[in-house]
Amino acid sequence: MAHTDAAVAACDPGCAAHSAPRAQLSELAQRMLSQTSKHEGAPAVLMLADGTAFFGRACGARGTATGEVCFNTSVEGYFEVLTDPSYAGQIVTMTYPQIGNYGVDLADTQVAPGAPGELAGNVRPPLRALVVRDLCRTPSNWRSTMSLSEYLEERGIVGIEGVDTRALVRHLRETGAQKGIVSTEVLDLAELRALLAAAPELVGQNLVETVSCREAHAYDPGRVPQGHAFAEAPAAPARHHVVVYDCGVKRGILEGLRRAGCELTVVPWDTPAADVLARRPDGVFLSNGPGDPEAATKTYEQVRSLLGKVPVFGICLGHQMMSLAAGARMEKLKYGHRGGNHPVMNLITRRVEITAQNHGFNLVFPSLGELVPELSGGVSEHPTGADGTAETADLRFWVERGIAPVVANERFGRIRLTHVNLNDGTAEGIQFLDIPAFSVQYHPEASPGPTDAHYLFTAFTRLMDGDPDYLDINIARDRLAGWEFAAA
């Protein structure tokens, strides 16, 4: 396969074409580019762990970055994706072909106040690099304060454009998410391969401690930021004091809790449970976060001590922390769930939510315990997958039957499966029936993404109020709460 500009090098890594970087643009192509807003750009290379290489042009900071290559299917919200702490350690590929057309407004950053070191003050987003098909350098939007390329350069994020992202994503879907390297300074593929081999794997790394706050602090955004006032209503008066475990929490999550009437105290990822309980909170929230959940041992050990003593709500990594605290097993998904268009069935209300997701690991629901037949439609055995094991079962089995199954957990009693991903049948939410606690695998706020899951913030306040039916909420009615156009 010819290695021309913007072409994918998907041939055998040992072929001759992989021994040298891509050819420079022709004189005609250089002249044409010089008359546009793009200009030629320095050459850049993305190489995957299996040796597949993609050639393109630099569109951000110059340098070399390694991480797990993943993809996000959102059409918009690229800036919120860039600044989401859950992407720490990853090279993010955007599947939408043109990125950057509406520019950047720093008011949309998802790096929360109190973030550590380099992340503080929005200095540097947590992801390693950005991969796009085409990066727009001339944005058009009334809220834009700079172009995406300017932001990447200013914040030191390596970017590559001109990549056939369709081919890259299809390759990742077939082979699975894998380690990769992006460079604008090292173009020799043999040298890149050596650098990549020396880079750490995502599994086993504790990335949570790199994005969590360093000390406890109160979070109060005050009035709605001016850039958001056209859409967001002022926060409701605070009724509940909630302690938030910061495992890489997004600012949008904190704002969602605050708008639901929660006064927030944010604490580091490894804060002892005794210190949290000493604050006498009405509830504890476990945030989203990056990487391998089993590496965040100090978090789920504290969660184990909190469950049953105070109402608890967990999302994304927080959901995984609650599952691990209950003795469950996690699986690494082949290529993860990342985007704003994932359909999820709420087994309690039988409503479908279009959700925003960003995770690479998932709960193995049968590992929580044996089914309780009388609470699971008479089913006494977990369904099995193609290999004959319950661990690989497609949980849409329960969607088809209209049942929210319940298992008997050795540590915390009865646990119900409440949400199922309709794309692949994986677990998306659980509810503890004998203690006040629930969790979901996705993000309930629209940063970026739909507002269908906004009701989960309301459910948490209802849980703290002692409502036994706290999850039985009309999603359609609740999802626009907190937005100015809700009354229109």
pLDDT tens-digit series, residues 14-51: 333 343 444 456 778 777 777 777 766 799 999 999 99
Measured distance CA(359)–CA(290) in Å, rounded: 8
Q: Is 77 annotated as a binding residue?
A: no
Measured distance CA(57)–CA(41) in Å, rounded: 6
Q: Please identify every residue annotated as catalytic.
A: 316, 443, 445
pLDDT of residue 7: 39
Is residue 249 predicted with pLDDT exceeding 80?
Answer: yes
Q: Span 64-81, mean pLDDT?
A: 96
Residues 6+ apart with CB under 8 A from 16: none
pLDDT of residue 21: 46
Residues 6+ apart with CB under 8 A from 335: 70, 71, 172, 173, 176, 177, 360
Residues 6+ apart with CB under 8 A from 336: 70, 177, 358, 359, 360
Measured distance CA(154)–CA(152) in Å, rounded: 6
Angle at 89 between CA 85 and CA 92, to 5 degrees: 80
Angle at 335 between CA 334 and CA 339, to 5 degrees: 145
What percentage of the chain has pLDDT greater than the value 70?
88
Residues 6+ apart with CB under 8 A from 146: 103, 104, 154
pLDDT of residue 226: 61
Residue type, 179: K
pLDDT of residue 284: 98
Scored b (16 or more CB within 10 A) or e, 121-132 reads eeebbbbbbbbb
Express each pLDDT in 317-335 by its tens digit.
999 999 999 999 999 999 9
Q: Is 289 annotated as a binding residue?
A: yes
For residue 487, name the pLDDT band (cuts at 50, 70, 90). very low
**Listed range (12-16, 137-141, 390-394) with the worst mean pLDDT:** 12-16
Residues 6+ apart with CB under 8 A from 275: 267
Express each pLDDT in 266-284 by its tens digit.
999 999 999 999 999 999 9
Angle at 334 between CA 321 and CA 441, to 5 degrees: 30
For residue 481, name the pLDDT band (cuts at 50, 70, 90). low
Is residue 169 predicted with pLDDT exceeding 70?
Answer: yes
Instruction: Please report which helix (H) or strand (E) contains residue 459, including its range.
Output: helix 455-465
**Listed range (252-261, 275-284, 393-402) with the worst mean pLDDT:** 252-261
- DSSP at 388: S
Residues in the chain, overall count: 488
Is residue 427 predicted with pLDDT exceeding 60?
Answer: yes
Measured distance CA(451)–CA(407) in Å, rounded: 30
By the 8 A CB rule, do 267 and 276 touch?
Answer: yes
Q: Is the dihedral of CA 125, 130, 136, 138 positive or negative?
A: positive
Enter the pTM of the model.
0.91
Is residue 9 predicted with pLDDT exceeding 50?
Answer: no
Instruction: Please report which helix (H) or strand (E) contains residue 252, including its range.
Output: helix 251-259
For residue 222, name the pLDDT band (cuts at 50, 70, 90). low
Q: Is 71 annotated as a binding residue?
A: no
pLDDT of residue 168: 98
Residues 6+ apart with CB under 8 A from 398: 347, 404, 405, 417, 420
For residue 442, name the pLDDT band (cuts at 50, 70, 90). very high
pLDDT of residue 474: 82
Is residue 132 predicted with pLDDT exceeding 90?
Answer: yes
Q: Is the dihedral of CA 249, 208, 243, 404 positive or negative?
A: positive
Which residue in 315, 334, 311 sits closest to 323, CA to CA?
315
Q: Is 361 annotated as a binding residue?
A: yes
Residues 6+ apart with CB under 8 A from 152: 59, 60, 61, 130, 158, 159
Cα–Cα distances (Å) from 156 to 46, 59, 127, 208, 412, in that order, read 17, 11, 11, 21, 46
Q: Is 320 annotated as a binding residue?
A: yes
Is residue 228 predicted with pLDDT exceeding 90?
Answer: no
Measured distance CA(290)–CA(445) in Å, rounded: 17
Higher pLDDT, 473 or 470: 470
Domains of the chain: 8-198 (3.50.30.20), 208-487 (3.40.50.880)
Q: Span 253-278, mean pLDDT?
A: 95
Higher pLDDT, 471 or 6: 471
Q: Is 327 annotated as a binding residue?
A: no
User: Across all residues in the chain, what is the average pLDDT?
Assistant: 89
Pairing relation of β-strands 129-131 and 8-9?
unpaired
